[in-house]
Amino acid sequence: MTEGNRPFIVFEGIDGSGKSTIAEMIYRHYESRGIPVYRGAEPSGGKWGREIRALLASRNSVGVKEQLRLFLLDREDDVRNNILPALRDNKMVIMDRYYHSNAAYQGALDQDPRVIIDINRGKGFPEPDRVYLMDIDTDTAVQRISARNPSGETDFFEKKNLLEKIRANYLSFSGPNFLIIDSTLPVPAVFKTVKNDIDTVFFGS
């Protein structure tokens, strides 16, 4: 992040990890402080994102290469139309999933997560300043997924055996801007941990 620019923050995690809840809380917090902020999510609300969501919700088997192709098309669209314009307008960007999700999820389907990361980086997508992995054990994640879906309907990836592989992929990632957060803690505690880190690193408070 160059001096004077606002940070690009990404929240990652398996289904049921609470990442969307924390992303929304962080968004509302900084918006309430008068900081210009863009809140996004992937799959996006664009053409390719809608197609991805429909495929995942249908629980139909979709080849991993086709999944990756659709996610890359969606990300190209999202970066061009949403993320880059927000960064150019000096807005704080908060994303619920980004390219680490591709590596973790499609990497759970017999693909190499590192190769998927390299493919994304080769596209020249903007790099996040901070990635928060909301880490949670799969038993708790499955309980949360079941609680929010009393009908028992789940998406393609919302199965314990797949979630275990996805979590292992996430935990294999590392880097100075990649932080693992214990999301089994109460939501206010998780929010405070993330907020304090953002304030310290990016806002000098």
Of the candidates 204, 196, 200, the one whose C-alpha atom is nearest the C-alpha of residue 29 is: 196
Judge if the upstream peptide bond of residue 43 is cis by omega within 30 degrees of 0: yes
Task: Quote the CA–CA distance of 169 and 192 in Å, as a whole number.
Answer: 26
Report whether pLDDT(1) > 60.
no
Question: What pLDDT shows up at residue 73?
Answer: 96
Question: What pLDDT shows up at residue 27?
Answer: 98
Question: What pLDDT shows up at residue 150?
Answer: 63
Question: What pLDDT shows up at residue 156?
Answer: 56
Question: What pLDDT shows up at residue 155?
Answer: 63
Q: What is the tens place of the pLDDT at every residue in 88-98?
A: 999 999 999 99
Report whether pLDDT(149) > 80.
no
Question: What pLDDT shows up at residue 95?
Answer: 98
Question: What pLDDT shows up at residue 104?
Answer: 95
- Helix runs in the chain, H state only: 19-32, 47-58, 64-78, 84-88, 99-105, 113-122, 138-148, 160-172, 187-202
Confidence of residue 153 (pLDDT cuts 50, 70, 90): low
Topology of domain 8-198, CATH = Rossmann fold (3.40.50)
Backbone angles phi, psi at 111, to 5 degrees: -115, 155
Question: What pLDDT shows up at residue 62?
Answer: 74
pTM over 0.85: yes
For the chain, the first-to-last Cα distance in angstroms comes to 17
Report whether pLDDT(68) > 80.
yes
Cα–Cα distances in angstroms (integers) from residue 55 to residues 46, 70, 152, 157, in the given order: 14, 10, 18, 11
Confidence of residue 188 (pLDDT cuts 50, 70, 90): very high
